[in-house]
Structures are given as C-alpha cells and as structure tokens.
C-alpha cells in the first residue's frame, strides 16, 4: 500500500486566549498522491488554519503531520522552508504577483529559493506559462493582465517548480463566474496530469467538482459521501 502524500493524525491547533480557541480539533485526514480534494466551510470554521498546517506555514499544537511519509514536526524552520519550496505550490485569491516584475520573472521567483539550477529557471517558467495558456504574456507587467490572466500567472508560478502538492485558497474569489470556470478547468487539467490538488473554498458548487469533499465546521472534519 502506497504512503499517502498527506497524513494528519489527531491534529489540534489551539490559539491562546480566554477562552482558548481550538481552530482544529483532533483532525485525522489522509490524501493520496493524485487526489483532488476540496475543503469547504464557512468563515471561521478552520479552513485557513488547515491550509497553513498543510502548507507548513504553521504547526499543530498537538498531533502529527506527515508529508510524503516525513514527520514534519521534527523539522526546524529552515528545513520546513526547504520542504515547502520543494514540494508545495500555493495559489491564493489575491494573486500576490509583484507589479514591478514581468510575468516571467514572477513565475521564476520561487525557483530562486528551492535549488532549481539558474540555467533551468527561465525554461521552466516559460513552459509553465505555456501550460496555462499565457506564454504570449511572459514579458508583460502583471498590472496589464486581466484577473483571469493574473490567476493563470499565479498558477504557473505555483507549478513551475514541479511540486507534489498544489494548495489553492479560494482561487476564484476575485474572478467573475465565467473566468472562474476557466480557472477550475485548468486546475482539473493539472490534476489529471497527476498533480495532487487541495482547494479551500466556501463555494459548494466549486467544492463538488473535486473527487473528494471534506467539510469543516468548528474545527471538526467530516467527509461528504
């Protein structure tokens, strides 16, 4: 039996206060390589905390998180950053493109930190832009792109490093409906090519497009049938 890409065991994330806030409560979750999983819940349900745990941006207060079989709690911050840049791509609602860099330079940016040889960075970035249908915009400023094109550029940046896992946080939240459908189609093409996709959303229609839907409420997970 193959090792899951993601395995959470009894993960709780607590934040101090009076009373203490438990954003995640004894969460157990396994996600295999190549899965397409949506995590849906209302504001304040724990979705962002889950994303931060999965993306190695935060640590569980209690419990274990294994990524590709590796126990992440044993990693120091430098090791976590290296693992994050090597294995995980991120796509956010707000795009987070640098306006004073070209689209190509934005896509190349994560490769400065993950050990990609300098000689390969431009070619990988160009290939990723072609993959999302944006090769003709490589030398443009992000400020000249439409919202859909900016999200395509952000997706290219996330996949150019050839990660094992793509985490998408409300990826269509700033897009009109038709553009959002196009972006979801692109995610599904990437998943069909073998990329593991986990999408955080509050939109039930988008969530149901995934092969698995996980509901989160008050820090508890349940899988939709």
- How far is residue 106's CA from residue 208's CA, in Å, rounded to a whole number? 31
What are the residue ranges in the chain where pLDDT is below 70? 1
Q: Could you list the residue range(s) of the whole structural domain that residue 196 is in?
A: 34-57+76-223
Give the pLDDT of residue 1: 65
**Exposure letters 77-96 (e unless 16+ CB within 10 A, then b):** eeebebbbbebbbbbbbebe
SS3 at position 145:
coil
Q: With a threshold of 0.85, does the pTM exceed it?
A: yes
Q: What is the pLDDT of residues 152-181, one digit of tens each?
A: 999 999 999 899 999 999 999 889 889 999
* 177 assigned to some structural domain: yes
* 112 assigned to some structural domain: yes
Give the pLDDT of residue 42: 86
Give the pLDDT of residue 76: 93
How does DSSP classify residue 21?
A: E
* 45 assigned to some structural domain: yes
* 29 assigned to some structural domain: no
Domain count, the chain: 1
Give the pLDDT of residue 17: 83
Q: Are strands 62-67 and 70-71 parallel, antiparallel or unpaired?
A: antiparallel
* 11 assigned to some structural domain: no
SS3 at position 146:
coil
How does DSSP classify residue 18?
A: S
* 141 assigned to some structural domain: yes
Look up residue 20 and give its two tokens. 């203490």
Is residue 190 within 8 A of residue 156, CB to CB? The reply is no
* 190 assigned to some structural domain: yes
CATH number at residue 157: 3.40.50.300
| Nearest by Cα to 145 from 160, 157, 162 | 157
* 64 assigned to some structural domain: no
């Amino acid at each position: 039996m193959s090792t899951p890409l993601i395995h959470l065991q009894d993960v709780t994330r607590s934040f101090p206060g009076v009373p203490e806030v438990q954003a995640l409560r004894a969460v157990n979750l396994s996600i295999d390589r190549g899965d397409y999983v949506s995590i849906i819940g209302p504001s304040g349900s724990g979705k962002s905390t889950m994303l931060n745990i999965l993306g190695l941006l935060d640590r569980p207060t209690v419990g274990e998180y294994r990524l590709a079989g590796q126990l992440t709690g044993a990693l120091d911050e430098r090791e976590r950053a290296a693992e994050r840049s090597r294995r995980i791509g991120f796509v956010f609602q707000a795009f987070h493109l640098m306006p004073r860099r070209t689209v190509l330079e934005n896509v190349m940016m994560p490769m400065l930190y993950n050990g990609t040889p300098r000689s390969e960075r431009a070619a990988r970035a160009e290939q990723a832009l072609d993959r999302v249908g944006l090769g003709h915009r490589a030398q443009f400023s992000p400020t000249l792109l439409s919202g859909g094109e900016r999200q395509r550029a952000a997706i290219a940046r996330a996949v150019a490093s050839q990660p094992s896992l793509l985490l998408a946080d409300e990826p269509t939240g700033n897009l009109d409906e038709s553009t959002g459908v196009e972006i979801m189609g692109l995610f599904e093409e990437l998943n069909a090519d073998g990329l593991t996709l986990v999408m955080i959303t509050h939109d039930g229609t988008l969530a149901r497009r995934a092969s698995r839907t996980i509901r989160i409420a008050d820090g508890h997970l349940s899988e939709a049938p």
